[in-house]
Structure 1
Amino acid sequence: QMVVFQAGLAAIPRDWYDAARVDGAGSWQRFRHITLPGLRHTLFFVLVTSIIGSFQVFGLVYVMTEGGPLGATDVAVYHIYREAWEFLQFGNAAAMSWLLFAVVFAATWLHFRFLDARRAHG
């Protein structure tokens, strides 16, 4: 993700920072008015991919800690697994799986819609 941020920062023209400095903008103003808007697409991409990636950590949690001490490393997918196979509540696990699917689908849909809008506007 750091490489993605580095690429996003490199895409912001240096001339904008120079012009803002000449106009008397401070470092906070340059960050707020140039850097953040310039990284808007990058921030959204990293946010969506991080959310989707956070649902893919079942293997690590199961192998290393099985939910950890008092559920400290419990994640949604591991919770669904436990609901189905430890507590034998298959209906609840199925409902949670559909809810998880809806969340991941919505995040993915937003991401692709955002990318299409970005491509349409250059």
Structure 2
Amino acid sequence: MAEDNPQFPTKIKTLSLEILTILYSRDLTHEELVSFRKRLMDIFNEFQKQAFSNYSADHILQLEAKIKQQQQAQYEALEKERSARIAALQEKTCCICGKKSSDWKKGVNPDEYYCTPCSLNFTKKGDENRMVMERPLQ
């Protein structure tokens, strides 16, 4: 717990005890609440100045830019992985030549797929999603 830490600022310890006292009493006037809020904000601002005195506005902006770059890189990696998974799911093996392709046409049977070059040897008959091999002229 933070109160067990010997480096925890004394004002924060005092403030936490005041908060506990207030929570138990719960009979504050508006002026007491305003005063308490003002003291809380003053102590918080002082603590913030002490804890983050080495950080300039430029340094904070640099940290934010670095975080944004990391998030963008993570997003791009996830998008690349997602695209690869989609391509792998859409890749089918041609029933004629045996090549794997993501650009395919559906055959007569539900498990028949043809790559674009092989599908040029087919003509559409009826249903536009099905293809039937056209017999060569004899």
**Does TM-score exceed 0.5, indicating one fold?**
no
Larger relative contact order (CA 8 Å, sep ≥ 6): 1
* TM-score under structure 2 length normalisation: 0.32
> Considering only CA atoms, is the larger Rg found in Structure 1 or Structure 2?
2
If the length of structure 1 is used for normalisation, what is the TM-score?
Answer: 0.36
The structure richer in strand per residue is 2
